[in-house]
Chains A and B, each alone.
Chain A
Amino acid sequence: MNPILIDGLTKRYGTFDAVRDVSLEVSAGSICGLLGPNGSGKSTTFKCMLGLARPTAGRALFEGAPLVPEMFEQLSFVPERSALYDRLTGNNHLEMMRRGYRNYDARRAQAMLEIFSLDPGKRIHRLSKGQRTAMGLVLAFSIRPRIMILDEPASGLDPMHQRAVLDLLIEAAAHGTAVLLSSHQIGQVERAADRVVVLKRGRVILDGNIDDLRSREKVIEAVFALPPDEKRFANDPRVRRVERRGSTLRVYVHADVDDVARDVNTLSPTSMNVLDQNLEEIFFSAVEEPRPATLEAD
């Protein structure tokens, strides 16, 4: 039984589908990165999962059961925007955790404060954006949760602390915690996550193990003597996107790269290469809208 299971989650505001039929699973000890451009529905997905917003359809199960308040003993959520109390101090927040959660680990909290160089005696409104994010992370890690859901957990942190967050998440996963995080730092997700789900306009457009995605998602780059006709691949179900820059054609393939390469070869290119993509390139090839022809032609 996976610690996190989302099944057909949909959230509709009037006629606008903020999230549409999103399904995903996160197993114990794994890190799943939820990626997507702004407004793609990442935060709404988290809110619907956690009962902070009412889903229009679908369900979220935690350790096989619908969310009940007691689950928060084992579940930490770090929202995108700090929800801490501005006029209270870090110590007040730690005391809130100590009194509210049986698993609260004071030594862990202290170690986390040191990692992020935080002064817990300061009121939250005196902290910088990054320090507030860090304080939220301190609270989240202080209860040693079995499930962590983090919405942009490294937002506003300096590169050193961003790395520290990743290390902490990797360590937590190594101890069996299921981690679901969203981030715009694709490189960091690539480093930490073993699986990614990409959302666009509320829908899942890419989902899979990172290694599988890397082996599946390729780019065929073919150079022609004359500008080729890229429309031939525009509606090909194996092709995610086609880009033409002058006489160079780039075909972003997400299945059967050899088959597509053979088809490209029938157009008699002067040269042709099959290129690997990193996660960032895979992400952009999945979410980027086709650019107007005038911009594509160099």
Chain B
Amino acid sequence: MWYIPFVRARRALIVYSYIVAAFALLGVAIRFMPHASAHNDATVPPLDISGFAVAAASIIAGLATVMGLNLASENDGHLEVAWAKPISREWYAMGLFGVDLIVMAVAYVLTLVCAIALCDFWAGHQVIVVRQPLMLDVAVLAFPFYIYAIVVALSASLKRNRGVAAGLLWPALIALLVASKIIRVDSVQAVLHAVNTINPVVVFSSQNGAMAPAGNYALGFALTAVCLGIALVQWRRLEA
């Protein structure tokens, strides 16, 4: 029933894998260049996996921005096919979300493994788990998931101009963060502070080099569910 979302997500994963592979090959090539410094296992300190997890999640957030447009692309001339299936439109949308989220999780693991392997191969770092429970390395997926859900919610009822919603999202999120730092007017600050409590760039920003608190990831997953719910309401109300 969700074959089309599956094919679309699979294609996104394949393209993403090519990009990761290209970077990995580049890393290997650089390692073998004559002037590249050889590592010495005895002198290289171990690295915490959480740093890789946050970096990988941030990269996947980019992928999520693109994949968040998948529901809207159904609205761009394909509703007669998508809605003529023997399944309710809500289930169809939820299946599409599920496929996309799974693909993002797979891409995250791929990125994480590739980054760790490359780091070990290139710099001889041992990657270890310190400070954070391993569960948090999974919880960082809340960041790309939330970004995905915001894009889905913003674009669910759009057609050709859906790319604008995705394109403006990051500048808007960063602008909100910057504005809260530089604007000193109390009333504006209060508004910005309120908005920034759900701004993913703020919610998931690392604090003192550590990962965001576990509660923030829980909030991220909750907000993901809310945004997907908003998208579902729009999806139900669309007309072909």
Contacts and interface: CB of A to CB of B under 8 A. Distances in A.
A203 B87 CA distance: 32
Contacts, number: 57
B86 A88 contact: no
A96 B84 CA distance: 12
Contacts of B4: 85, 88, 92, 96
Nearest to A139: B81
A83 B86 contact: no
B3 A72 contact: no
A77 interface: yes
A100 B7 contact: no
Contacts of B7: 88, 92
A101 interface: yes
A77 B86 contact: no
A163 interface: no
A70 B88 CA distance: 8
Interface stretch (B72-80, B108-116, B123-131, B201-209): B72-80
B42 interface: no
B121 interface: no
B186 interface: no
Question: In which size bucket is the chain A interface?
Answer: 20 to 34
B32 interface: no
Contact of B3 (A51, A53, A95): A95
Contact of A85 (B81, B84, B239): B81
A79 B3 contact: no
Interface in A60-76: 69-73, 75-76
Contacts of A92: 3-4, 7
A52 B85 contact: no
B77 A69 contact: no
B106 interface: no
Interface in A22-78: 47, 50-54, 69-73, 75-77
A99 interface: yes
Nearest to A103: B86
Contacts of B81: 83-85
Given A47-B240, A52-B79, A85-B81, 17 more contacts: A47-B239, A52-B80, A53-B239, A53-B240, A54-B239, A69-B86, A69-B88, A75-B84, A76-B84, A83-B80, A84-B81, A88-B4, A92-B3, A92-B7, A95-B3, A96-B3, A99-B3
Interface of A: 47, 50-54, 69-73, 75-77, 79, 81, 83-85, 88, 92, 95-96, 99-101
Interface of B: 1, 3-4, 7, 77-81, 83-89, 239-240
